[in-house]
Amino acid sequence: VGGRIADRVFDITRTFPLALDVGSGRGYIAQHLTKETVEKLIQVDIAENALKNAVESEIPVVSVIADEEFLPFKEDTFDLVVSSLSLHWVNDLPKAFREIHQVLKPDGVFIGAMFGGDTLYELRCSLQLAELEREGGFSPHVSPFTAVSDLGHLLSRAGFNTLTVDTDEIQVNYPGLFEVMEDLQGKYILCMGESNCSWNRKPLLHRETMLAAAAIYQEMYGNSDGSVPATFQIYYMIGWKFHESQAKPAQRGSATVSFGDLAKIDGLL
């Protein structure tokens, strides 16, 4: 995902003197950027250990421990802000977007990625069905995610314009449900921060419920080779801070060509 965000940065034909990576973790975007595109990068994360163990990058990097909801930078500071798979942990997402918009310079761009609402739907459905069957009710065991229909509205309310939001899915196959959960609670807690941030979560699952969930997972979603898929839905977003030089939509009714003429395009040419 960090590489795909870097690709979107490369699509913008300009050099960014100063960029900010919000929720940088170990620097998963920085390792894909080049000094011809970004001259200097500030990496911000609330986890000190992640910043200390950041991967090397060819561009100059400065690490700052800070909360995404309280960015310690002056207004109109950065030419570019990026963020990869950290914003779903934010308590107040609208405020985080406003903070990002505030520290951007006019005509600056925000390029980010966050988990979508269908992430880990196989795991969530299996756990819910198993708990309903064995315990008569269920509680959330996976963090909630934002719906794509809300993302554009949140960015627009924060002040961004010329918005682009697209979605992608990454599917990873595992031997079974227990391997999925072990991976999420082990590797992904370190790399992605994936556990459950809900305050109303249930502290543990009964063994019988887990076994039932594993059987449901295999029955409903299992692959022909015996493995099970885990789906990660990724939302990519691009938003710009307003500047007078930016292109503006034409006034309504100012068109000189009708869409009805498209059928005659060959004849017109």
Distance from C-alpha of 22 to C-alpha of 80, rounded to nearest angstrom: 11
User: Is residue 135 a part of any domain in this protein?
Assistant: no
Candidates 146, 139, 211; CA nearest to 181 is: 211
The span from the first CA to the last CA of the chain, in angstroms, equals 43
Q: Cα–chain-centroid distance for residue 9?
A: 15
pLDDT for res 190? 36
Question: Is 262 contained in some domain?
Answer: no
* Distance of alpha carbon 101 from alpha carbon 123, whole angstroms: 35
Q: Render pLDDT for 65-90 as a digit per residue (tens, 0 to 9).
A: 999 889 999 999 999 999 999 998 88
Most confident of 145-149, 159-163, 183-187: 159-163
Per the structure, the complete domain to which residue 97 belongs is given by 1-115
Q: What is the pLDDT of residues 156-180, one digit of tens each?
A: 999 999 999 999 999 999 999 999 9
Q: Would residue 76 count as lying in a domain?
A: yes
Average pLDDT over residues 38-62: 92
16-35: pLDDT as tens digits: 999 999 999 999 999 999 99
Domain annotation covers residue 13: yes
CA-based R_g, the chain, Å: 22
* β-strand partners of 64: 44
State the Cα–Cα distance between residues 237 and 235, nearest whole angstrom. Answer: 6
- Could you give the CA distance from residue 68 to residue 72 in angstroms, rounded to a whole number? 9
Question: Is position 150 within any domain?
Answer: no
Does residue 65 lie within any of the structural domains? yes
What is the H or E stretch that residue 230 is in? strand 228-240
Q: Give the domain CATH number at 31.
A: 3.40.50.150
Distance between CA atoms of residues 72 and 74, nearest Å: 7
